[in-house]
A and B are shown apart, each in its own frame.
Chain A
Amino acid sequence: MAGIIELKGLSKTFGTGENQVSALKNVSVSVEKGDIFGIIGLSGAGKSTLVRCINLLERPDQGSVLFHGKDLTELKEKELRLQRRKISMIFQSFNLLDQRTALDNICFPMELEGVPRKKARQRAKELLETVGLPDKADAYPVQLSGGQKQRIAIARALASDPEVLLCDEATSALDPKTTGQILSLLQTINKERGITVIIITHQMSVIEQICNRVAILDSGEVAEIGDVVDVFSNPQSQAGRRLVSPNVAEPALDWDIPIARIAFNGSVSEEPVIARLVTTTGIPVSIMGAATRNVDGKAFGTMLISLPEDPGKKKEILDFLNGCQGVSAEEVTEHV
């Protein structure tokens, strides 16, 4: 199946001579309709350049940008403008019009399309509800917090009824709690409106929380691309491993109780496993430490739990854990 957005062989070079930077090198990515597609990479990897090539804010030197199979790079300016209305974008710095109220900001894309003012305001009010800020219609951007500004920007992006939403580091200027809220808002929008979301980020946690597919960008090249679960559980590339490498939980030297290390490889979520362990065996354990990463509700990484002294009970626990799919457990001996 052809994706809603297909980038084929994109290359982009900035500058000349000594200052020449190859921001993109033969990048090909296919995004399916309904995806929440993450593009992750270190700063300077070319993520922003890539996402800006999708709506041609940046023109690639080579390659094509297919939207519904149509190459946007070949369109006349006027046609391109019409297509851009179907591909909205939100930014790290929000980019709201400072001299307009929140409501008028949301009306802006509808004004561009010539939607009658009354109708536009009506729809803008609905969108304010959607993003959870119905009482901020008359607020100016300066009166809003970062998270609120991004919500207004999202409402504005939805105003043109887009099929795709591009997010360039949309949560990078926000604190973790607000980031979480904005991400769930994006997820809701994706589910309820069927809008394909493309998220650019340098934060693993963002991809983990909402993406189903991911591309890892490394120095302008796609290092790896696939389902988030696959890429994160078993990264094939150097860049992928560097990003994902789940830290190993290490027991402290002075713990003088038996400890088991449980490794999760992503087939299950850790909470039910521990809960079932306790209810099935009837032996209480405490979690001593964890370095797990939740991807799509599945756990990766390791966890340390306390074991009873009794060898029989010890074995019962280890057997139970090793019997669970995607989990392996062993007693840690190195710390005693």
Chain B
Amino acid sequence: MFDLFSDAAKVAQQMEIICSEYGFALWETMYSLLLEVLFSYVIGLPLGVLLVTGEKEGIRPLPRWLMTVLNAVINLLRSVPFLILMIIALPLSKLIVGTKVGTAATIPPMVIAAFPLVARMVESSLREVNQGVVEAAQSMGASALQIVGKVLLPEALPSLISGGTITVGTILGYGAMAGIIGGGGLGKMAINYGYYNFKFLVMWAAVIGLIILVQVFQSAGTRIAVKCDKRLRNRS
């Protein structure tokens, strides 16, 4: 696996594969990442908000049984191993995107795996918001919706962005695994060429690409989170 450069012919062949396929794999990784993050937040963000606002002492308490069900479902989805979850959820893709194979087909299972994580992350970010500020808003006659939109989310923004960074990193990891069940991208490239075809140079190129992506998103996310946090005196 580590003897990469001793056979010149193999190297040339693998370089060719990298040159011709790397760009497309990267693009597939990026666009499925984008869609997965998007849909995970479309579902996870409102759920995370409900987990905070809906509890007994929250700003808009929901029925106890509903909160119990919500928490149980999220915990359940969080505890099933990702690969198993993907395989169980794959039939759903047929319903939603019309096919069980290909990159698009892996998006619904990934969203199902990721939105509970998003919900929990949003929940914990919102819980960090100073309760006194929420009370102040209530004392001014703010509605529950106004409190969510004008107090909870904006005040938690730096923390939400940090959470988003973690989500992106996790989904990138999921995406690499999705290569096993037919999802395209760098993950598939690594598994197909490396694991199944012994083209380790290609595999390493794909893996390093993923590593760089995670690094880039992580440092960009951290930087943005710090930059937009007005509680930090020396920046702004």
Instruction: Please list the residues of chain A having a beta carbon within 8 angstroms of any beta carbon in chain B.
Output: 55, 57, 80-85, 87-89, 91, 93, 95-100, 108-109, 111-113, 140-143, 160, 166
Contacts and interface: CB of A to CB of B under 8 A. Distances in A.
Interface of B: 130, 132-133, 135-143, 146, 150-151, 154-155, 157-158, 228-233, 236
A96 B133 contact: yes
B155 A98 contact: yes
23 contacts: A81-B142, A83-B141, A85-B141, A88-B140, A89-B136, A91-B135, A91-B136, A95-B130, A96-B133, A97-B151, A98-B130, A98-B133, A98-B230, A108-B140, A109-B140, A112-B146, A112-B150, A140-B236, A141-B230, A141-B231, A142-B231, A143-B233, A160-B140
Contact of A99 (B139, B141, B146, B157): B157
User: Which label, helix, strand, loop or mixed, suits the secondary structure of the B interface?
Assistant: helix
Contacts of A140: 230-231, 236
A55 B136 CA distance: 11
B127 to A, nearest CB: 15
A116 to B, nearest CB: 16
Contacts of B236: 140
Contact of A95 (B133, B146, B158, B228): B133
B130 A84 contact: no
Nearest to A77: B143
A191 to B, nearest CB: 24
Contacts of B158: 99
Given A99-B230, A142-B231, A81 B143 contact: yes
- Give the one of A85, A97, A160 with max B CB within 10 A: A97
Contacts of B228: 99
Contacts of A113: 141
A166 B136 CA distance: 11
The binding surface of chain A is classed by DSSP as mixed
B193 to A, nearest CB: 47
B234 to A, nearest CB: 10
B58 to A, nearest CB: 14
B133 A84 contact: no
Given A95-B132, A140-B230, A143-B233, A84 B150 contact: no
B136 A95 contact: yes
A80 B142 CA distance: 10
A99 B235 CA distance: 13
Contacts of B142: 81, 112
Contacts of B231: 98-99, 140-142
Given A85-B141, A108-B140, A141-B231, 5 more contacts: A85-B140, A89-B139, A91-B132, A95-B135, A112-B140
Given A95-B130, A99-B157, A112-B150, A82 B232 contact: no
A97 B135 contact: no
Q: Which 3 A-B pairs have CB atoms at the shortest separation, nearest pair first?
A: A84-B141, A95-B136, A81-B141
Contacts of B146: 112
B139 A142 contact: no
B4 to A, nearest CB: 50
Contacts of B233: 142-143
A95 B155 CA distance: 12
B131 to A, nearest CB: 9
Contacts of A83: 141
Contacts of A109: 140-141
B232 A142 contact: yes
Contact of B141 (A95, A98, A112, A141): A112
A57 B132 contact: no
Nearest to B135: A57
Nearest to A99: B230
Contacts of B136: 89, 91, 95-96
Contacts of B150: 108, 111-112
B230 A55 contact: no
Contacts of A108: 137, 140, 150
| B136, B143, B146, most chain A CB atoms within 10 A | B136
A275 to B, nearest CB: 47
Contacts of A91: 132, 135-136
A200 to B, nearest CB: 14
A160 B139 CA distance: 11
A96 B130 CA distance: 10
A65 to B, nearest CB: 14
A88 B232 contact: no
A154 to B, nearest CB: 12
Contacts of B141: 80-85, 109, 112-113, 160
Contact of A97 (B138, B143, B154, B229): B154
A109 B137 CA distance: 8
Contacts of A111: 150
A84 B150 CA distance: 18
A96 B151 CA distance: 10
B25 to A, nearest CB: 39
Given A98-B155, A112-B150, A57 B140 contact: no
B140 A84 contact: yes
A21 B142 CA distance: 30
Contacts of A166: 139
A99 B151 CA distance: 9
Contacts of A55: 139
